[in-house]
């Protein structure tokens, strides 16, 4: 983490998010965790993300909204370097996480990914027991002592409210859980690697309303400790839980700002059109 | 810890790369070693003579492969002629007419047919097809036949390649976008007209590829054919004559021929011949089929 | 007119499907009809006794055990190569890489090479290495035959796996190698299917073992001893002029057919299980 002073010294010209004109996310920015500079992403020579510049404030929920195909998932993937797996994706620009450019020359991909807990659109339990699912991350990252592993697993299962539901069958296959339980399991699994950030790509779109509510409550609880970035498919969800909104359209950031302001007083015509539902 | 993980990852990656290269090289190694084994006979004799002479007297040093090549060709040709209509009709039926249950019932049938070992086909052929030809079919056309004939080999082979033909033609049919057949049906064409005008026309290249593939399978089939085709070195003049295909020649003589000069090389030459033909045929048809599959993925 | 043509062709098509089904039943029925009377418990529990090939006592246990030894050995070898290769082309190489298409193309061609060519190549290789016809020779040659079968069917199943699981693992910070280990658990039913298919092909093939494995009335107890195999045992018994021996060939054919039927149905069971898991 860097202090406010350091931050101001380093990037005083860049303490805002947006494209041409700076947009202030938090009225009083104390620290920034993710800072993106001149990010361009090309997939198979198509310009998918166009000159993105923004700062994502820490310990809060930032929701990314925008019509389908505008590049939300692509953007999220640039944050944990999942594009490394696809050679057809070309990335230029800088993504600073904890003030280190994760596309810099000496960065360890595994460490970067470990910093980012990802919650996918559909829960994808590993083909093993509930316990093993949560234990998997800590184990590959070097926690071998049984007691420590047990403790970690129980702690995070409790944290997502799953422990009481599954305590007598933690050794059974995770695929037998309901889909909402599976998604909470995936969240616990992601938290168990002790990330600093949580990324969610339409993480509730496959869930029923009750499970959605549980996950949303978890996000709100989690923002005490983590910086959360969510792609969301419904405006209502963004309204409910977001502290900040980023609106993307055709690979560009159109408008961004604190939730209240964004919804009550959008500055761009495009944003107003989108919010009024004239396109989606 | 971190370094250990990265090292393991790297070692695994290089091992796998090694295996991948080995697999590609393996094909080359087989081809090259067969070639070098066949080289002595190709040096000793004119290649054209080897392929076009019918004079086969190994102990005298005469190696004319024509009887074996023609036998292989005739047997495979008959097999294709018999198998193709059955396979295409059945595939059309399964693809366009049959209910889901019928299809589900038929899948294991095709699987089982393709899983039955050649030796069992051979047993079946000697028990049923050979006597059938000797007693019922051949007497109508020729004076005498043992039943161990080109025709017997062709029939047994036909049954053996039917599953391959069906599964590939089915795949080819499935690669035709449903919108096309729907369009034809909605214009008032009957199912059969749609099959004729749309499905068969669109999949002609796939069917040809499947046929070539099945032919190459037929060329190489050994045990079953060997058991029913008589194995007499001669130029077969009718389908009721005995014949002696290349694989049977290898199977019957390899392993015990080391006393005659060039005999081993001659047999290796036939293996090399089979290899070349099969690789060529397979290559062409697989390439075509891959192309079709790709079209399917992007349509 | 249109309707008539439609009807006629439909009938022809159903007939051709029925004939194919009929042939399958006919094959199995023929083998059972001829072989059942000779199929005794001795057949599968005893080695060929003295004078077995003249119609006296004994069974084909030598061939059954020989076939099992050869298939186990060749499976071990081909799995050791197939599994890493399939993982490599699916998860290490990029989706549209030229290299992976080249490998897949080679597999297609290896798959099409006739077993007699593998047999001849295997024998030539054995002469080169100074190995005589033996269990080891049979294992190596059968491994060449079943390797492409296993690779192709396992590859086909692996390609169906969605990107979700690999992505989930990578985003947990797993290395590729760690990822592949977990993915293999998910693919286990598919691997079993591929193995069963390979066993089915390998155990029934005679042309590969004809020169490479040799033949013996005993059970081999080391890799350089010759080994009998079921298909060859059928072949040799069938060549006997004694009727009882021929009948035992049919009985052995039943044994082989039953093994194949069991393998085929279990392969089907496992692959259906796989597709259920996937959804
Ligand atoms: N692997 C890919 N290959 C080609 N185009 C892609 C690929 N991934 C994403 N795209 C393109 O990038 C754009 C943004 O996609 P995505 O980030 O998934 O949008 P969103 O998540 O906002 O719906 C889309 O136009 C899509 O077609
Ligand atoms: Mg998306």
At B91-136, the pLDDT tens digits run 999 999 999 999 989 988 998 999 999 999 999 999 999 999 999 9
Dist. CA C194–CA C184, nearest whole Å: 13
Ligand with the closest atom to the CA of A65: 1
Model confidence at C151: pLDDT above 50: yes
A93 touches C156 (CB < 8 A)? no
Q: Do A140 and C172 touch (CB under 8 A)?
A: yes
Contact residues on chain A for C186, CB-CB shorter than 8 A = 127
Q: Which long-range contacts (CB under 8 A, 24 or more apart) does B255-260 make?
A: B255/C123, B255/C133, B255/C210, B255/C211, B257/B58, B260/B58, B260/B59
Q: What is the mean pLDDT of residues B3-18?
A: 94
Q: In 3D, which of B253, B200, B296 has the Cα closest to residue B65? A: B253
Across the interface, of C167, C178, C182, the residue whose CB is closest to A127 is: C182
Nearest to B273, CA basis, from B117, B82, B63 = B63
Which chains neighbour B (Cβ–Cβ under 8 Å, 3 or more pairs)? A, C
CATH number, domain at A108?
3.40.50.300
Quick one: closest CA in A to B5, which residue? A140
Residue A7 in any domain: the answer is: no
- For the entire predicted model, the pTM comes to 0.90
pLDDT tens digits, B48-89: 989 998 889 888 888 999 999 999 999 999 999 999 999 999
Residue nearest atom 6 of ligand 1, based on CA coordinates:
A43
Successive 10-residue mean pLDDT values, chain A, 280 residues: 37 38 38 84 94 92 94 94 92 92 91 92 94 95 92 94 93 93 95 94 92 94 93 92 94 93 92 84
Query: Looking at the domain covering C45-276, what would its CATH class be?
Result: mainly alpha
By CA distance, what is A142's nearest residue in B? B1
Contacts of B1 in chain A (CB under 8 A): 142
What is the C-alpha to C-alpha distance for residues A224 and A240, in angstroms, rounded to an integer?
17
Q: How confident is the model at residue B226 (pLDDT cuts 50, 70, 90)?
A: very high
Residues of chain B contacting residue A108, judged by C-beta atoms under 8 Å apart: 2
Residues 6+ apart with CB under 8 A from C105: B283, B286, B287, B290
Q: Output the pLDDT for position B196.
A: 86
A81 vs chain B: nearest CA distance in angstroms?
Answer: 17
Q: What is the DSSP annotation of B144-171? A: ---S-SHHHHHHHHHHHHHHHHHHHHHH
CATH code of B51-298, in short, is 1.10.3720.10
Mutation target to probe the B interface, by most B beta carbons within 10 A, among A110, A111, A136 is A110
Please work out whether the CB of residue A5 comes within 6 Å of at least one atom of ligand 1: no
Q: What's the mean per-residue pLDDT of chain C?
A: 91
Contact C167 A189 (CB under 8 A): no
Q: What chain C residue is nearest to B265 in terms of C-alpha separation? A: C124
CA proximity to C229, closest of C217, C239, C243: C217
Joined tokens for residue B130: 């050979």
Mean pLDDT of C75-103: 94
Domain hosting residue A97, numbered range: 32-275
Structurally, how many domains does chain A consist of?
A: 1
Say how many CA atoms lie within 13 Å of B246 toward its Cβ. 32
H helical segments located in C36-60: 41-45
* DSSP 3-state of B230: strand
Q: Closest ligand to A201 CA? A: 2
Q: Tell me, what's the pLDDT at B296?
A: 65
- Give the residue on A whose Cα is nearest the Cα of B4: A142
In a domain, A130, yes or no: yes
Does the C-beta of A82 come closer than 6 Å to ligand 1? no
Quick check: helix, strand or coil at residue A38? strand
The DSSP line for A147-161 is HHHHHHHHHHHHHTT
The answer to whether residue A144 is domain-embedded is yes
Ligand closest to CA A120: 2
Taking the centre of ligand 1 as the mean of its atom positions, its distance from the CA of residue A272, in whole angstroms, is 24
Instruction: Tell me the C-alpha to C-alpha distance, in Å, between residue C162 and each of A280, C85, C93.
Output: 27, 19, 16
Pairing of the two strands B56-57 and B62-63: antiparallel
- Contact call for residues A130 and A148 (beta carbons, < 8 A): no
Q: How many CB atoms lie within 10 A of CB C49?
A: 13
The rounded distance, in Å, linking the Cα atoms of B204 and B292 is 11
- Has residue C105 got a pLDDT over 60? yes
Measured between beta carbons, which residues in chain A are less than 8 angstroms from residue B6? 110
Domain ranges of chain C: 2-38, 45-276
Mean pLDDT over B41-52 rounds to 90
d(Cα C174, Cα C168) in Å, to the nearest integer?
9
Nearest-CA distance from B14 to chain C in Å? Answer: 10
| Residue A13 domain flag | no
Contacts 24+ apart (CB under 8 A), A170-177: A170/A129, A170/A130, A170/A131, A171/A129, A171/A130, A171/A131, A172/A129, A172/A130, A173/A127, A173/A128, A173/A129, A173/A130, A174/A125, A174/A126, A174/A128, A174/A129, A174/A130, A174/A132, A174/A133, A175/A125, A175/A127, A175/C277, A177/A125, A177/A130
Is residue A6 one of the residues assigned to a domain? Answer: no
Q: Comparing C-alpha atoms, which of C222, C228, C184 is closest to residue C209?
A: C228
The verdict on the CB of residue A232 being under 6 Å from ligand 1 is no
Among A50, A65, A70, say which to mutate for ligand 1: greatest number of ligand atoms within 8 Å of CB.
A70
Structure tokens at B19: 């295996």
């Amino acid at each position: 983490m860097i202090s406010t002073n350091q931050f101001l010294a380093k990037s005083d010209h860049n303490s805002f998010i947006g494209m041409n004109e700076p947009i202030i996310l938090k009225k009083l920015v104390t620290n920034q965790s993710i800072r993106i500079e001149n990010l361009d992403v090309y997939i198979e020579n198509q310009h998918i993300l166009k000159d993105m510049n923004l700062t994502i404030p820490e310990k809060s929920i930032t929701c990314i909204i925008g019509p389908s195909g505008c590049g939300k998932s692509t953007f999220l993937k640039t944050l944990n370097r999942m594009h490394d797996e696809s050679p057809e994706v070309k990335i230029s620009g800088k993504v600073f996480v904890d003030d280190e450019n994760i596309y810099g020359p000496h960065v360890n991909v595994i460490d970067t990914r470990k910093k980012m807990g990802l919650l996918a659109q559909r829960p994808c339990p590993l083909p093993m027991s509930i316990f093993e699912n949560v234990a998997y991350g800590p184990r590959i990252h070097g926690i071998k002592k049984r007691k420590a592993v047990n403790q970690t697993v129980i702690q995070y299962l409790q944290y997502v409210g799953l422990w009481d539901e599954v305590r007598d069958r933690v050794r059974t296959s995770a695929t037998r859980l309901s889909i909402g339980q599976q998604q909470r399991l995936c969240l616990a699994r992601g938290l168990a690697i002790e990330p600093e950030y949580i990324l969610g790509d339409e993480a509730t779109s496959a869930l029923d309303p009750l499970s959605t509510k549980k996950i949303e409550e978890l996000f709100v609880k989690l923002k005490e400790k983590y910086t959360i970035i969510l792609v969301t498919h419904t405006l209502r969800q963004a309204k409910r839980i977001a502290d900040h909104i980023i609106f993307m359209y055709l690979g560009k950031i159109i408008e961004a700002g604190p939730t209240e302001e964004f919804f009550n007083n959008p500055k761009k015509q495009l944003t107003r059109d989108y919010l009024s539902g004239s396109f989606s | 810890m971190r370094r250990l993980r990265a090292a393991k990852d790297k070692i695994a990656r290089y091992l796998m790369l090694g295996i991948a290269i080995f697999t590609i090289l393996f094909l080359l190694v087989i081809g090259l070693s067969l070639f070098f084994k066949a080289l002595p006979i190709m040096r000793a004799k004119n290649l054209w003579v080897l392929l076009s002479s019918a004079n086969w007297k190994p102990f005298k040093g005469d190696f004319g492969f024509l009887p074996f090549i023609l036998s292989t060709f005739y047997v495979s040709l008959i097999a294709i002629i018999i198998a193709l209509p059955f396979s295409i009709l059945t595939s059309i039926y399964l693809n366009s007419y049959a209910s889901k249950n019928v299809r589900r019932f038929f899948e294991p049938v095709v699987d089982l047919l393709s899983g039955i070992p050649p030796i069992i086909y051979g047993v079946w052929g000697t028990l049923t097809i050979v006597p059938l030809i000797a007693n019922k079919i051949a007497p109508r056309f020729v004076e005498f036949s043992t039943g161990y004939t080109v025709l017997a080999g062709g029939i047994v082979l036909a049954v053996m390649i039917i599953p391959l033909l069906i599964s590939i033609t089915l795949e080819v049919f499935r690669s035709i976008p449903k919108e096309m057949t729907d369009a034809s049906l909605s214009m008032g064409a009957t199912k059969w007209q749609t099959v004729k005008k749309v499905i068969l026309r669109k999949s002609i290249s796939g069917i040809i590829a499947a046929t070539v593939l099945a032919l190459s399978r037929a060329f190489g089939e050994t045990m079953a054919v060997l058991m029913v085709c008589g194995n007499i070195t001669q130029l077969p003049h009718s389908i009721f004559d005995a014949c002696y295909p290349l694989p049977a020649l290898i199977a019957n003589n390899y392993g015990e021929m080391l006393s005659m000069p060039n005999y081993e090389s001659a047999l290796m030459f036939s293996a090399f011949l089979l290899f070349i033909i099969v690789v060529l045929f397979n290559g062409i048809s697989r390439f075509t089929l891959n192309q079709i599959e790709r079209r399917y993925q992007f349509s | 007119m249109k309707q008539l043509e439609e009807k006629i062709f439909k009938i022809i098509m159903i007939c051709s499907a029925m004939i194919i089904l009929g042939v399958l039943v006919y094959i199995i029925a023929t083998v059972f009809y001829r072989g059942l009377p000779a199929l005794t418990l001795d057949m599968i529990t005893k080695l060929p006794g003295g004078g077995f090939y003249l119609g006296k006592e004994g069974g084909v246990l030598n061939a059954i055990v020989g076939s099992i030894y050869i298939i186990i050995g060749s499976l071990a070898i081909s799995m050791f190569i197939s599994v890493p290769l399939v993982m490599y082309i699916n998860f290490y190489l990029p989706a549209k890489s030229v290299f992976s298409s080249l490998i897949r193309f080679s597999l297609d061609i290896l798959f099409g090479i006739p077993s007699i060519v593998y047999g001849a190549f295997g024998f030539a290789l054995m002469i080169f290495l100074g190995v005589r016809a033996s269990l080891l020779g049979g294992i190596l040659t059968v491994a060449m035959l079943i390797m492409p079968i296993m690779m192709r069917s396992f590859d086909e199943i692996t390609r169906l796996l969605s990107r979700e699981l690999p992505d989930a693992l990578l985003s947990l910070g797993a290395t590729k190698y760690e990822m592949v280990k977990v993915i293999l658990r998910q693919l286990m039913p598919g691997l079993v299917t591929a193995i069963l298919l390979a066993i089915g092909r390998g155990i029934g093939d005679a042309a590969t073992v004809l020169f490479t494995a040799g033949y013996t009335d005993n059970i081999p107890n080391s890799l350089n001893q010759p080994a009998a195999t079921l298909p060859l045992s059928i072949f040799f018994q069938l060549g006997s002029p004694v009727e009882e021996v021929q009948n035992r060939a049919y009985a052995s054919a039943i044994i082989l057919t039953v093994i194949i039927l069991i393998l085929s149905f279990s392969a089907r069971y496992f692959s259906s299980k796989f597709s259920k898991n996937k959804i």
